[in-house]
Chain A
């Protein structure tokens, strides 16, 4: 049971970023491996607002979402938009390069020292033998609400339908009168805000340092692939799968191999069910 709580906590950190990753993939058809870099930007932005500037963490989180939305929008404008129309492989490589650039900018600005949020000390909640820190409960609740809110936004609102329509067929969306660049920009900003949220949540659970980049990127990408690229709900479910897999690995093998879980799960999914849990099968043309 404790393992399940830990798995949910991991899933809660990964889920917003995995939804963001799949949103970008759905809109632009490339895997943005800078996901970990953006989450790290979110963590440092939240830390800057919380620790040195003394704002409460919720305000730091909101600020981090804004900073990340701006960072992702800027990267889209400067790096990815000029390369639209190139293959997904090219953009993937560019995103890996961007990830290293982001990591080193952070390292340059903040140094390599580990940082942590300025949070009041609170005891864990104990019930039925389970010890659940209040922060963990908050992380799970916030992530759940945010992920459901984005899912509802995409499923039930006009702008959400427009995002899905543009992702499905941008040429048709264009002749149907949809403002395609505006809709794409909206999707990018939502994805950025989600990266920022993940960054804040990860900082509650783990130490904040520039190495978060790849430590978080692989499980985030694995969660999106497990869920089925293009499915936000799938990405959230994928995050739970990765969270469970990491906890089981730590419990029955060794925590050292937790970092390898994402790679193993990606390999298994690609072998057994390439479209992921909720993804749609597509024909290669």
Chain B
């Protein structure tokens, strides 16, 4: 069963396409990694699904619902929830407030907050601190918690380990891997630590210059002899 489906998707920011005809599918419980060199269009692809970048062609559906006409808030309400790489928490709000405001319009906020805290128990220790005063790792965890509060069906995660120590990189990716399985969540992740992401992902796509140049099992892709060249864009 496919949850998120992109067909021949083209996207950009108004000055010409950056993503050129990408086909991609994500199933519930599946973690799909998008890897590739800097400037390949990975983040733009995620943002176009979230409604932050413009879709200029192709189709984009979530469980059969066309996402293209929806604004970013509507796509989040529909279940395609984006976790930005930077500035992904409300710095002046406490962690608890960050979680609560991320479930806007829902009635079971307190119960959802409990569920999210159970899934990400480390947050309990700093629940009443202002998010702006947290460490990078704590902020990423809160950002993830906020995304989960919106009851996502597909989580669009943009470089969740940027700026984290090597120890926390593995921890964050493990959390995402577990979430996909436990919550039957589709996860589409852009990750700079390509090998670490491929170790956890089910499938992966290599994007170079806005086009998918390789896709398949993450484990198999990581074993390919020219993986390094692909990642750095030399095989494009």
Contacts and interface: CB of A to CB of B under 8 A. Distances in A.
Interface string A160-176: 01101101110111111
Contacts of A174: 52, 71-73
A158 B102 CA distance: 10
A165 B88 CA distance: 11
Interface stretch (B4-12, B13-21, B92-100, B183-191): B92-100
Interface string B84-110: 100111111100011011101100010
Contacts of A180: 73
Interface in A120-164: 158, 161-162, 164
B77 interface: yes
Contact of B87 (A167, A172, A178): A172
Given A158-B100, A161-B100, A162-B101, A175 B90 contact: no
B132 to A, nearest CB: 8
A177 B150 contact: yes
A158 B92 CA distance: 15
A167 B97 CA distance: 14
B100 A175 contact: no
A175 B84 contact: yes
Contact of B105 (A171, A173, A177): A177
A179 interface: yes
B76 interface: yes
A198 to B, nearest CB: 25
Contact of A176 (B51, B71, B92, B146): B146
A59 interface: no
B82 A175 contact: yes
A175 B101 contact: no
Contact of A168 (B76, B90, B146): B90
B187 to A, nearest CB: 16
Which interface class (under 10, 10 to 19, 20 to 34, 35 or more) fits B?
A: 20 to 34
B144 to A, nearest CB: 13
A176 B50 contact: no
A251 interface: no
Given A161-B100, A165-B101, A172 B90 contact: yes
B87 A176 contact: no
A175 B93 contact: no
A260 interface: no
Contact of B93 (A168, A179, A230): A168
B91 A176 contact: no
B232 to A, nearest CB: 30
A168 B94 CA distance: 12
Contacts of B89: 172
A280 interface: yes
Nearest to A183: B104
Contact of B73 (A161, A164, A179): A179
Contacts of A179: 73, 104
Given A169-B87, A169-B90, A280-B92, A162 B73 contact: no
Interface in A225-263: 230
B4 to A, nearest CB: 16
B72 A161 contact: no
Contacts of A173: 90, 101
B87 A161 contact: no
Given A161-B93, A165-B90, A168-B90, A176 B52 contact: no
Interface string B149-182: 0100000000000000000000000000000000
A180 B51 CA distance: 14
A58 B76 CA distance: 44
Given A177-B76, A177-B77, A161 B97 contact: yes
21 contacts: A158-B100, A161-B93, A162-B101, A164-B93, A164-B97, A168-B91, A169-B91, A174-B72, A174-B73, A175-B52, A175-B73, A175-B84, A176-B102, A176-B150, A177-B73, A177-B76, A177-B81, A177-B102, A178-B104, A179-B73, A280-B92
Given A174-B72, A175-B72, 15 more contacts: A161-B100, A161-B101, A162-B101, A164-B97, A165-B93, A174-B71, A174-B73, A176-B104, A176-B146, A176-B150, A177-B76, A177-B77, A178-B104, A179-B73, A180-B73
Interface of B: 50-52, 71-73, 76-77, 81-82, 84, 87-93, 97-98, 100-102, 104-105, 109, 132, 146, 150
